[in-house]
Amino acid sequence: MLLPYLNKELIEAGCDEAGRGCLAGAVYAAAVILPKDFKNELLNDSKQLTEKQRYALREVIEKEALAWAVGIVSPGEIDKINILNASFLAMHRAVDRLQLRPQHLLIDGNRFKKYRDIPHTTVVKGDGKYLSIAAASILAKTYRDDYMNRLHEEFPYYDWNHNKGYPTKKHRAAIATGNHSLSPHDVQFAGWRAVGASFPIIFVPISLSVWIAGR
Domain boundaries, the chain: 12-153+207-212
Please state the φ and ψ torsions of residue 6, each to the nearest 5 degrees: -100, -40
- Cβ atoms of 27 and 70 closer than 8 Å: no
Q: CATH code for 12-153+207-212?
A: 3.30.420.10
pLDDT tens for each residue of 51-91: 999 999 999 999 999 999 999 999 889 989 999 999 999 99
Calpha distance 143→109 (Å, rounded): 20
Q: What is the overall mean pLDDT for the chain?
A: 83
Read off the pTM.
0.84
Q: What percent of the chain has pLDDT over 70?
A: 79
- Min mean pLDDT across 40-44, 134-138, 141-145, 158-162 is at 158-162
Residue 213: per-residue pLDDT: 60
How would DSSP label each residue in the chain?
A: --BS-S-TTS-EEEEEEE-TT-SSS-EEEEEEE--TT---SS---GGGS-HHHHHHHHHHHHHH-SEEEEEEE-HHHHHHH-HHHHHHHHHHHHHHH-SS--SEEEEESS----BTTB-EEEETTGGGTBHHHHHHHHHHHHHHHHHHHHHHHH-GGG-HHHHTT---HHHHHHHHH------TTT-EE-----SS------EE-----SEE---
The sign of the torsion formed by the CA atoms of 56, 58, 63, 66 equals positive
Interstrand relation of 120-123 and 104-108 (parallel, antiparallel or unpaired)? parallel
Residue 178: per-residue pLDDT: 58
pLDDT tens for each residue of 155-214: 887 878 887 777 766 666 666 665 543 322 223 333 343 333 333 334 344 445 565 767
Residue 211: per-residue pLDDT: 59
User: Quick one: pLDDT band at residue 152, thresholds 50, 70, 90?
Assistant: confident
Residue 203: per-residue pLDDT: 39
Residues in the chain: 215
pLDDT tens for each residue of 27-56: 999 999 999 999 999 999 898 999 999 999
Calpha distance 134→136 (Å, rounded): 5
